[in-house]
Structure 1
Amino acid sequence: MNQQRTFLITGASKGIGFALSERLASAGHHVIGIARHAPEQGYPGQFIALDLADTPAVQQQFSKINAAFRVDGVINNVGLVRPQWLPDVTTDTLDEVLRVNLHPALLAVQSALPGMRARGWGRIMNIASLTVLGVPQRTSYAAAKAALVSFTRSWALELATQGITVNAVAPGPTETALFRANNAAGSEGEQRYLAGVPMKRLGQPEEIAAAAQFLLSDDAGFITGQTLYVDGGASIGVSQL
């Protein structure tokens, strides 16, 4: 039976982050959630309101968390999307998206790493995206998520002998506020996504969270450096309507 662990989750107030927080808490784990705003329905653990785009503040907060708690696992879930066609992409937008998606991930892991190494056990989970395989209007976002996949592989190699696994989950189109902000129900955008999903439906946050929860468990101790697509078959190839 898995023992109680402490997990830190960024972007924890809604969608996949909140669903994973609930699953981990229900399994008896201590969960520390971070996001800009607290969830309206309450949080199943300790919640810290923090603007994850503020790199100095993020670095300071992570240091405080790791001084106060034994952080056994880090889930890098925060995401920022700025949909733009190629001619409209600006370097400022690119920098913003890369910073929000990547800086907290790096800093969270760096802060928790000394404790994980000392205990000889740790889990690092990066939430990537199906968009790394190519989606229109996702130059900045897909680049950031592809970098998280690269982080996953590099960190897994560095930490492989230290009891610390590093994996990524790449969700397909998922019924979250982030997805709906750019793809309203019944919209052309939604239909474009569903056309590429063999199951012909959106994923649910709980389904993504279930896959992530397994990779965070003791049972997944021999799995590292992997990116698991949870996408209704969308990564297999092009689906026809």
Structure 2
Amino acid sequence: MTEQLCAVVTGGSAGIGAAITQQLLEDGHKVISLARRAADFTHDNLISYEVDLADRAQTAAVAAEIAAKYDVTLLVNNAGVIRPDLIEDVKLEDLDYLTQLHLGAMITLIQAFLPAMKAKKFGRIVNMSSRAIVGLATRTNYAGTKAAIISMSRTWALELGQHGITVNVIAPGPIVTDMFTEVIPEDSDKARALANSIPVKRLGQSDDIARATAFFLDKKNSFVTGQTLFVCGGTSLGSISL
């Protein structure tokens, strides 16, 4: 029987985050979802906090509350938004927002849960980047902050490995979620053309990311850290256009 661990998943109520949450619940873990809205599914081992992770004070308060109640040893920093614009229209306030959501919240949560991980000499941290880091029009702020996630994660992998804590990154390609279909309807000519441009000839699904996340979170996988895994159908090998 799998040992029950306590996991925190940001953005755990929808899209990729919901798939990761459900995967961890299936694996027998307690899961705490941090998102702007509660999940539309329930489970005896699911706890939901409604929080705006772009709000620094809210994030710090929730992180402290969870750390006081639970020994969190699995952390998935998944929450994110795009805020697309061509460079002529990029807004610095969007950069500020994404910096807090993608980077600041991640730092706050890791700092809150590190004492428990260090005490147990075990921890697994997975941070969500994006295939957009290798280049995608309209993604200045998004790709910039998502690229920073990789650099920061490599730094933390070096710092935390001695404590039995691994830090890895997943960079998804085009994944069919609500955020994706807001831009490209799933059953559209544009979606079909995009799928046809991908080497594996299909769009990704949230479960593709959930399975990769589960690999990095597995207690047995202690010899993999500081790595970035592109789960992108091969789109990181060349250019795509959304």
TM-score by length of 1: 0.94
Q: Which residue number corresponds to residue 183 of structure 2?
A: 182
Decide whether aligned partners of structure 1 residues 156 and 79 sit closer, same or farther in structure 2, where only a CA change above 3 A counts: same
Corresponding letter in the other structure for 2:19: A
> Is 1:27–2:27 an aligned residue pair?
yes
Deviation at 1:184, TM superposition (A): 2.2
Q: Which residue number corresponds to residue 50 of structure 1?
A: 51
Compare 229-238 and 153-162 and name the one that shifted more. Answer: 229-238
Identity of aligned residues (%): 39
CA RMSD, 1 decimal: 1.9
Matches within 5 A, 1:135-150: 135-150=136-151
Deviation at 1:196, TM superposition (A): 4.3
Matches within 5 A, 1:81-100: 81-100=82-101
Write the deviation string for residues 126-168 of structure 1: whole angstroms up to 9, x where unpaired.
0111001100000011111101111110100011111000001
> Is 1:71–2:72 an aligned residue pair?
yes
Corresponding letter in the other structure for 2:55: D
2:236 is paired with a residue whose SS is coil
Deviation at 1:41, TM superposition (A): 3.3
2:38 is paired with a residue whose SS is coil
Write the deviation string for residues 28-60 of structure 1: whole angstroms up to 9, x where unpaired.
111000100112233661111111111111101
Q: Which residue number corresponds to residue 4 of structure 2?
A: 4
Decide whether aligned partners of structure 1 residues 26 and 231 sit closer, same or farther in structure 2, where only a CA change above 3 A counts: same
Q: Which residue number corresponds to residue 13 of structure 1?
A: 13
Write the deviation string for residues 60-82 of structure 1: whole angstroms up to 9, x where unpaired.
11011011001011100000111
> Is 1:111–2:103 an aligned residue pair?
no
Rounded to whole Å, the distance in 2 between the matches of 1:119 and 1:39 is: 30
Q: Do the aligned residues in 2 keep the contact of 1:2 with 1:217 (CA within 8 Å)?
A: no
Deviation at 1:102, TM superposition (A): 1.3
Corresponding letter in the other structure for 2:143: A
Superposition misfits of 4+ residues, deviation over 6 angstroms: none
Corresponding letter in the other structure for 1:211: A
Q: Which residue number corresponds to residue 172 of structure 1?
A: 173
Rounded to whole Å, the distance in 2 between the matches of 1:142 and 1:221 is: 29
Q: Do the aligned residues in 1 keep the contact of 2:196 with 2:202 (CA within 8 Å)?
A: no
Corresponding letter in the other structure for 2:126: M
TM-score by length of 2: 0.93
Decide whether aligned partners of structure 1 residues 35 and 161 sit closer, same or farther in structure 2, where only a CA change above 3 A counts: same
Compare 185-194 and 211-220 and name the one that shifted more. Answer: 185-194
Structure 2: gaps (5+ residues): none
Structure 1: gaps (5+ residues): none
Rounded to whole Å, the distance in 1 between the matches of 2:192 and 2:133 is: 19
Decide whether aligned partners of structure 1 residues 168 and 174 sit closer, same or farther in structure 2, where only a CA change above 3 A counts: same
Rounded to whole Å, the distance in 1 between the matches of 2:97 and 2:5 is: 33
Aligned residue pairs, count: 240
Deviation at 1:188, TM superposition (A): 7.1
Rounded to whole Å, the distance in 2 between the matches of 1:162 and 1:47 is: 29
Rounded to whole Å, the distance in 1 between the matches of 2:176 and 2:159 is: 34
Q: Do the aligned residues in 2 keep the contact of 1:196 with 1:238 (CA within 8 Å)?
A: no
Rounded to whole Å, the distance in 2 between the matches of 1:12 and 1:27 is: 16
Rounded to whole Å, the distance in 1 between the matches of 2:196 and 2:83 is: 22
